[in-house]
Structure 1
Amino acid sequence: MLLSIKIVTEYPIWLIAFCLLAGVGYAFFLYRNDSRFENVKLWLKRTMFIFRALVVSILCFLLLSPLIKTIFNTVEKPIIVIAQDNTSSILMNKDSVFYKTEYLTKIDNLKQKLSSTYDVKMYGFDEQFDEKDVINFTGKITNLSNVFDELENRFYNQNIGAVILATDGIFNEGSNPVYTSQSNGVPIYAIALGDTTPQKDIILKDVVLNKLTFLGNQFPMEINGLVQEGEGFKTKLEITNRGKIVFEKEYQINSSNFSINENILVEAKEVGVQNYKVKLSTIENEVSIANNLQDVYIEVLDGRQEILILANAPHPDLKALKLSIESNENYKVKTQMLNDFNGNTEAFSLVILHQLSGYEEAVQKLNQSKTSVWYILDAKTTVNQFNKLKTGLEILNSNGQTNQVLANVNEQFPLFSLAEKTIKYINNTSPLLTVFGTYKIQENGYNLFHQKIGSVITESPLMTFFQNGNKKVAILAGEGLWKWRIQEFNKTKKHEAIDELINKTVQFLSVKEDKSKFRLIVKNRFLENEEVLFNAELYNDSYELSNEPEIELLVTNEGEDEFKFNFNKTSNAYFLNAGIFNPGAYQYVATVVLGDKKYVEKGEFQVAQIQLEMNNTIANHQLLANLVKKHDGGLFYPSNIEGVNDAIQKNNNIASIIFEEKDLKELINLKWIFGLILLLLSAEWFLRKRNGAY
C-alpha cells in the first residue's frame, strides 16, 4: 500500500526558486528583442517562452540530483506449513482405504480454507522433505527431526504462523523431535494418523548377515521377528536360496507379544551375489503380510587373498600383523620361518619379511620374484645384506647401534589416506626400535612416516614405499608394532588405528595394477531408493583416456527382464545414471568397440529392500501429544480435521506483519523526464519554424 511520494534533494530548497528564475531569465533574454517575432501573435510568443523556460528550469533542477522518495507498506501474511507424512506406515492399519481417499480430500479442503487468510505451503516428507504434488504413502523412511531442521532452514526469518504436522508419530531415522525441535514460538497442530491399537501381525523385523563370505564357508545369519496379538496360532520360519530350503522351523505362538530370535549358520555353495528369501508364514486376519518377508543378499567370493609372513625368529610383531590382517575377511595369513621357505611365492599376493638376517639365497629369490614384499627391519637385521637387495632404501654408516624413534605421519603421502584419528594416534604413540645409520632413499620413494627423534622431525624415512611396475615394496625400518596394538587397546578398547594402518598397507601392496583398457566402476550393493550409478573408463593402445565410441549396457534381473542403456560422455570418460531399480539381484554386461577390438565387462549388483516402515505399525500419538504441548499447539484426529482451521483462526498470535519500506530513485533515471524535455523542445522548434525563426 502506497503511503506517500515526494521529491527530495540534498541541496537547500530555495535553490528550486533559482532554477525557475534561471529558466524564466533565459527565455526572457531569448525572446525579449527578437525582431523575427514582431508579427507573431502574443499568445504564441508566450507559449514558446513558457516551453523554453520549462526546459531550462527542468535541466537546472536535474543538476540538484533530485530523488523520488516513496513510502509504502508491505503486508506479509502468516505462513501456514502443512507437513504430511508420505510413508507407507500410514496404510499399515484397517483404515488404509480411508487414508488413500477421504482423508486426502479432507486435507485438501483444509488447505483451501486456510488459503483464504494465510499463505499456505504444503510439503510431504519421507526420505526427503519437499513440496509434493501427489501424496501416495509410498515412502520408505520417516525422519521427523529432519522435518523441523528443514523448516528452520527454509523459513528462517519469515513469518511462520503455524505448522500442521500430519503423521502417525512413528519415526525410524533421526532423533526424537520432542527433544530436538526448537521452541521458537511457532505453534504446532498435529493430526494424529494411524492406529494405536496393537493388531494381529507377524513382523520380520531384521535379518543380519555379512556383506560377503567365501565359497564353502558357513556364514552366520541372525533373524529377529515379532508376533503381535497372535496367541494360539503357529508360524513357520523358512529360508530359501534359488528355490531350495536351507532352513525351516515352526513356532507355537504362546503370548500376545511373541519374539522370534534365531542365529543360524548357512553354507555358501555358489559364487556370486546370492539371494536368500527369509519368510515367516502368515496367520489368519493379519493386518499386513508385506512385513512377513525379506530378501537379503550376500556376495560369495571364490577365495581369500593369501598373505605370507616370513620371519627369521619368533617375534610379537608377527602376532600383531596376523591379527590386524585377518580382521579383514578378504585376507588369509600364513606364518612361516625362513628356514622352511622354499622360495616359491606364486600362491601369495604379498610376502611380509620380518628381520632380515641370513638365508641370503631364499631372500634373493623373494626379492627377484614378481610378488610384492613388505620388509620390516629389526635390531638384528644385517644391514649389508639388506643394502644388497637394492630395494630403493640404503642404510649407510651403520655401526650396529640402535635408536628409539617416534613416527611422524607425512600428511602429503599420495598412495593412500589414513583417518585423522589414526594419524593422531601414530604421531603420539610409543617409539619403534630402528637400526642406527644414515638413511638414503631413491627419488621414486614415498615416505609414509619420517623418523622423529625427541621433538625433531628428521628427513630420514621410517616407513617408505616403492613401485616398479606390478611389483611394490614397503619398508618399515623399525620393530614394535605389537606395542602400538596393545597401547591402542588400553586407551580405546579397540584396534582401529593399527588395523587401518596395516590393512591399507597390505591392500596397496597386494592389489595388482589394473592394466585392462576398459574399466567399469559400480557399487555392488544399493538400497531401493538409491540411484544406480556407473562410471566407465576406456583406454587406447597408448593408455590414453578415450570416449569416442559408444558404450552399451545391458542389465538383467532374476526374471530375465532386460534393461538397455547407453552411457553419457564426460570430458574424457563415461557416466550413467541408470535410475532406481526394484529390490533384487541384477547382472550387467557392458560392451564397447574401439578400433577393431571389442571389450566386454561383466558384473552383478544387488538392490536391497528398505522395510523400516513395516517393522512398527503401532502409531505413537503420545509423541505427538508431547510435541504439541511443547509448542503450544493442539492435537487433532482425522475425524475432526476441520478443528485445525478453527484453532488457527482463533489464535491471535498468528497475524500478518506490516513492513514500512522506503524507496529512493534518482529523478534523472526516469525516462518520461527526457520525453517531456524532448516534447517541449520539439513543440518550441515547430512553432519557431512555422513562424520563420529557422
Structure 2
Amino acid sequence: MQTQTILLIITAFIIALIVAFYQYLYRAKNRQRKSLFFAFLRFLSVFALLVLLINPTFKKNTYFLEKPTLVVAVDNSASIKHLEQDQNVVQFIDKIKNSDKLKERFDVNYYSFAEDLNDSLSLSFDQKQTNIAKVLEDIDQIYKNAVAPILLITDGNQTYGRDYQFSSNRFKQQVFPVITGDSTIMTDTKIQQLNVNRYAYLKNRFPVEAILTYSGDQNINTRFEIRSGNLTIYSKEISFSGEENSRIVNLTLPASSPGVVQYNARLVPVSNEKNTVNNNKAFAVEVLDQKTSVLVVSDIIHPDLGAIKKSIESNERRNLTIAKPSEIVGIEDYQMIIIYQPNSRFTKLYEELNTLRKNYFTITGSKTDWIFLNRVQAKYTQEITRQTEYYLPRFNSNYGAFLFNDIGFQNYPPLIGTFGEIRINTNYDPLLYRTISNIETQEPLLLTIEQEGIREALLLGEGVWRWRAQNYLDEKNFESFDDFLGKIIQYLASSKRKSRLNTISESFYYGNSNIKIKAEYFTKNYEFDRRGNLRISIKNKETEAIQTIPMLLKNNSYDVDLSNLDAGNYDFTVTVIGENISKSGSFTVLEYDVEQQFLNADVTKLKQVATTTKGKPYYFNQNDSLINNLLADQRYQVIQKSKENVVSLIDWKYLLAIVILLLTIEWFARKYNGLI
C-alpha cells in the first residue's frame, strides 16, 4: 500500500473522531453513557465511508497448477485408408483417450489434418492432398508460448508443400511421430511422373515424357504402353534392376482429331506387385484446329521486329509477314495486324482497318509520329514533347480481358517511349503500368481496348527484344515471353464479340488439381458489375446428377471451386439471377488420386523429424512405451504458478453492508431514546 494512501486513511481516522466527538460529546447538553455508544457508532460509519472514498488497493496472490499440452494430430488423408491403417489409427486414438494417467499429466488437444489443420477428430480418411509441413508450422505457431509436445499420427507421405523433413529444424515443440503403414520395402513399379503439354495443334505431333521407377532388388521386365480408348498407340519394353531403378521414356504422339483427347498411360504390373494403382495415369490433350496469319507493318528496321517474328512463329500454327506500308497486299487475309511505330505513311492502312473492322496491335516508340496518330484515331492521345523516357513495366494482377500471370516483369529492362501524358479517351484494361525512375504510376504501359466490337492492344514503348532476351537469361528459354505475346495475339485474333457474361474454364482438369471456373459479368455499358448474383449448375453426363452452387465475387471475377468433383464428363451453365443471361460449357475431370500412389510409410523422413525436434518415433505396437515415456519425460512437468491480483476495497461489498448496518443501528437507538 502506498504511503499516500496510508496518510489518507490516518486523516480519515482523525476526521471520523472529530465528527463523532463534535456531534455527541462537544455539542451534547447532557452527557450520558449512551452518548459514548452513539459517538462510537458514528465514528465507525464515517470512518468506513471515508475509507470507501479513498478506495485503497490490496495485492492478492492466487495459486494454480498448469499442465503441459499434449497435441495429438491425426492424418486424415486417403493414403491412410489405402495402406489399410485406418482401423489401427482409430484404435490407437482410443487408447490415448482412455489413458487416465495422460489426462492427469497433460491437457490433451486433438486435431485432424490433410491439406489444413482442423480442430476436430472427424475422421473420414478421404482427403485428397496432404501438406504435413504446413500443419506442423500451424501447430508450432498456435503453441509458440507453451510447452506442447506433438503426437503426429501419420504415414509421412506428403503430396505437396515444402519438405517437412528440412523445415522441422525451426520447430520449437518436440515431435513424436507414430508411424502408420508398413516400412518393409516391397516390389513396386510405378509411373513417377508424366510430362505433357495441355495443347497440341491438329496434324502435328506432341511430345510426352514418362518417368518410370522401380522399388526392389530383382531384375524384372515389363512394358510401358499408352492407350486411347481401346487402341494401343504406343508400346515399349522396359527393364529394371536393383541398380538401374528408373527409366525416362520420351515419345511423340499424333494429334489427328480436334477437341479434347484422353489417353491412359500404363506400366504393366509384375507378378508379385502389391500396389498397382500407381501403374496407371490418365492424361489429356486439347487439339486445336486453327491457323493464325499475322501482318507486321513497319516503316523502319528495328530489333523488335525480329523478336516479335521469332516469338509469334514459335507456335507452329502461326505465321508472320513483315511489310512496309506501301507493300501491303491482301490485308483481309490476315487475322490481325501489328502496327509498329506508325507515321503519316500509314494513312491508307488505318482506312482499310476501319473498313474491314480488323483487330490490331499498335506499338509506339521514339520514331512514332504522334501528331499523325493523334489525328488518325480518337481512342487515345499523347502529349507532344518530342522527348523520350524510359518506362519500367509493372504487372496489373487485376487485368480481366484474359487470364495471365506475372512472368517477372519487375526484372525486365525499361522500354523507350515518348515523354508526356497519355490520355485514354475510352474504356480500357491495363495489363502493365509504367514505373518511372522507381516511382510507380497508374499510367498504362500496355493496355487493351474493345470498342464497338473491335479489339486493339497498345504498347507505349519500344525495346521488347530486350524483354525476350531477359526471359532467356532468367529461365534459359523463351517460353514465358512467347506465351505472353501469344496470349495477346490470341486475344486480338479472336473474332468473338464481347458479351455481358463470359466464362473462363479449362477443357479438362486432373483429379489432383484445383477445379475452378470463373465468370465475368458486365453492365450494359460493358463495365464490370459487382452487384451480380451468379449461380452455376453442374451436370454429370453419366449420372445425370445436377448441383447448383452460388459463385463468389473475387477481385474482378466471380469464382467457384469444384475440386470435390469426381472424375467424369460435365456440362455447366452460369446464370445471372434476375437477368435473362446465361453461358454454358463443358469440361472433363480425369481420374487421378495422388494419395493412392504410396506403397509404404515414409519412415526415413519421420525419424529425421523426431531427431531434429528432440522427439522419438513410435509404431502402433509401442503405445504403452509411448505413454510411459511421455509420463517419465522431465521436460513435461505440471507447474505451480501464482497470479497476483490487485483488489480494490470498493469491490468488497461487505464493507458497504457494515456501513448501512451501523447507520441503521444508530438511527434506531436514537429513535428509541427520543433523540429524533
Q: Does TM, normalized by the shorter one, top 0.5?
A: yes
State the Cα distance separating 1:682 from its structure 2 match: 4.7
Letter of the 1:79 partner, please give it.
T
Instruction: Say yes or no: does 1:518 pair with 2:505.
Output: no
Name the structure 2 match of 1:247: 233
Matches within 5 A, 1:616-655: 616-655=598-637
Name the structure 2 match of 1:324: 311
| C-alpha distance in 2 between matches for 1:616 and 1:664 | 59
2:547 to 561, 564, 570: 564
CA gap 1:522/1:337 in 2 versus in 1, 3 angstroms = closer
Instruction: Say yes or no: does 1:150 pair with 2:138.
Output: yes
1:107 to 89, 93, 117: 93
Instruction: Say yes or no: does 1:614 pair with 2:596.
Output: yes
| C-alpha distance in 1 between matches for 2:396 and 2:268 | 56
Instruction: Say yes or no: does 1:587 pair with 2:587.
Output: no
| C-alpha distance in 2 between matches for 1:177 and 1:574 | 35
Instruction: Say yes or no: does 1:16 pair with 2:6.
Output: no
| C-alpha distance in 2 between matches for 1:340 and 1:295 | 50
SS in 2 for 1:641: helix
**Contact persistence 1:236–1:248 (CA under 8 A):** no
Instruction: Say yes or no: does 1:62 pair with 2:52.
Output: yes
CA gap 1:106/1:587 in 2 versus in 1, 3 angstroms = same
| C-alpha distance in 2 between matches for 1:663 and 1:291 | 63
CA gap 1:394/1:188 in 2 versus in 1, 3 angstroms = closer
| C-alpha distance in 2 between matches for 1:168 and 1:262 | 30
Name the structure 2 match of 1:191: 178
CA gap 1:682/1:206 in 2 versus in 1, 3 angstroms = farther
Name the structure 1 match of 2:321: 335
2:198 to 202, 206, 211: 211
Name the structure 1 match of 2:109: 121
**Contact persistence 2:157–2:602 (CA under 8 A):** yes
Encode CA deviations 1:156-210: one digit per residue, 9 max, x unaligned. Answer: 11122x3333333443433444432236674433333322322243423323222
Encode CA deviations 1:461-482: one digit per residue, 9 max, x unaligned. Answer: 9988776544355566776544
| C-alpha distance in 2 between matches for 1:78 and 1:525 | 50
Instruction: Say yes or no: does 1:26 pair with 2:14.
Output: no
State the Cα distance separating 1:602 from its structure 2 match: 0.5
SS in 2 for 1:116: helix
Name the structure 1 match of 2:283: 296
State the Cα distance separating 1:484 from its structure 2 match: 5.1
| C-alpha distance in 2 between matches for 1:625 and 1:175 | 17
**Contact persistence 2:25–2:31 (CA under 8 A):** no
Letter of the 1:626 partner, please give it.
Q
Name the structure 2 match of 1:3: none
Between 529-538 and 653-662, report the one with greater CA deviation: 529-538
State the Cα distance separating 1:120 from its structure 2 match: 1.9
| C-alpha distance in 2 between matches for 1:542 and 1:486 | 40
* TM-score normalised by length of structure 2: 0.79
Name the structure 2 match of 1:444: 425
State the Cα distance separating 1:237 from its structure 2 match: 4.6
Letter of the 2:76 partner, please give it.
N
Encode CA deviations 1:444-493: one digit per residue, 9 max, x unaligned. Answer: 389978899x9999999998877654435556677654455446645764
Matches within 5 A, 1:479-558: 480-482=463-465, 485-486=468-469, 489=472, 493-495=476-478, 499=482, 502=485, 506=489, 515-520=498-503, 528=511, 553-558=536-541
SS in 1 for 2:582: strand
SS in 2 for 1:586: strand
| C-alpha distance in 2 between matches for 1:278 and 1:264 | 12
Instruction: Say yes or no: does 1:134 pair with 2:122.
Output: yes
Matches within 5 A, 1:28-47: 28-32=21-25
| C-alpha distance in 1 between matches for 2:310 and 2:498 | 32
| C-alpha distance in 2 between matches for 1:293 and 1:267 | 21
Name the structure 2 match of 1:471: 454
Encode CA deviations 1:134-160: one digit per residue, 9 max, x unaligned. Answer: 344434334343343223211111122
State the Cα distance separating 1:75 from its structure 2 match: 2.6
What runs of 5+ residues in structure 2 fail to find an aligned partner?
A: none
CA gap 1:636/1:473 in 2 versus in 1, 3 angstroms = closer
Between 54-63 and 602-611, report the one with greater CA deviation: 602-611
Between 438-447 and 679-688, report the one with greater CA deviation: 438-447
| C-alpha distance in 2 between matches for 1:487 and 1:659 | 62
SS in 1 for 2:283: strand
**Contact persistence 1:342–1:362 (CA under 8 A):** no
Name the structure 2 match of 1:344: 331
**Contact persistence 1:408–1:457 (CA under 8 A):** no
Give the number of aligned pairs: 663
SS in 1 for 2:115: coil
State the Cα distance separating 1:408 from its structure 2 match: 1.6
State the Cα distance separating 1:689 from its structure 2 match: 5.5
State the Cα distance separating 1:66 from its structure 2 match: 0.7
Letter of the 2:425 partner, please give it.
N
**Contact persistence 1:92–1:288 (CA under 8 A):** no
Matches within 5 A, 1:270-309: 272-284=259-271, 286-303=273-290, 306-309=293-296
State the Cα distance separating 1:601 from its structure 2 match: 0.9
Name the structure 1 match of 2:75: 85
SS in 2 for 1:222: strand
State the Cα distance separating 1:132 from its structure 2 match: 3.6
**Contact persistence 1:307–1:332 (CA under 8 A):** yes
Letter of the 2:572 partner, please give it.
Y
* TM-score normalised by length of structure 1: 0.77
Between 178-187 and 315-324, report the one with greater CA deviation: 178-187
Name the structure 1 match of 2:207: 220
CA gap 1:518/1:385 in 2 versus in 1, 3 angstroms = closer
RMSD of equivalent CA atoms: 4.9
Name the structure 2 match of 1:668: 650
CA gap 1:327/1:645 in 2 versus in 1, 3 angstroms = farther
CA gap 1:366/1:111 in 2 versus in 1, 3 angstroms = same
SS in 1 for 2:192: strand
Instruction: Say yes or no: does 1:389 pair with 2:376.
Output: yes
CA gap 1:544/1:657 in 2 versus in 1, 3 angstroms = same
CA gap 1:525/1:656 in 2 versus in 1, 3 angstroms = farther
Encode CA deviations 1:347-376: one digit per residue, 9 max, x unaligned. Answer: 514434467575754453135542233344
2:392 to 405, 409, 412: 409
Encode CA deviations 1:214-234: one digit per residue, 9 max, x unaligned. Answer: 455433333333454596877
| C-alpha distance in 2 between matches for 1:21 and 1:582 | 87
CA gap 1:474/1:498 in 2 versus in 1, 3 angstroms = same
**Contact persistence 2:453–2:498 (CA under 8 A):** no
**Contact persistence 1:343–1:366 (CA under 8 A):** no
| C-alpha distance in 1 between matches for 2:466 and 2:211 | 40
SS in 1 for 2:585: strand
Letter of the 2:67 partner, please give it.
K
SS in 2 for 1:138: coil
| C-alpha distance in 1 between matches for 2:187 and 2:396 | 59
CA gap 1:542/1:140 in 2 versus in 1, 3 angstroms = closer
Letter of the 1:590 partner, please give it.
V
State the Cα distance separating 1:68 from its structure 2 match: 3.0
Instruction: Say yes or no: does 1:599 pair with 2:570.
Output: no
**Contact persistence 2:165–2:605 (CA under 8 A):** yes
**Contact persistence 2:501–2:581 (CA under 8 A):** yes
CA gap 1:81/1:456 in 2 versus in 1, 3 angstroms = closer
| C-alpha distance in 2 between matches for 1:150 and 1:64 | 49
**Contact persistence 2:298–2:340 (CA under 8 A):** yes
What runs of 5+ residues in structure 1 fail to find an aligned partner?
A: 1-7
Matched-pair identity in %? 24
| C-alpha distance in 1 between matches for 2:314 and 2:30 | 111
**Contact persistence 1:37–1:691 (CA under 8 A):** no
Encode CA deviations 1:402-452: one digit per residue, 9 max, x unaligned. Answer: x8x56223759899599594244223x7x68x9xxx979655389978899
State the Cα distance separating 1:253 from its structure 2 match: 5.6
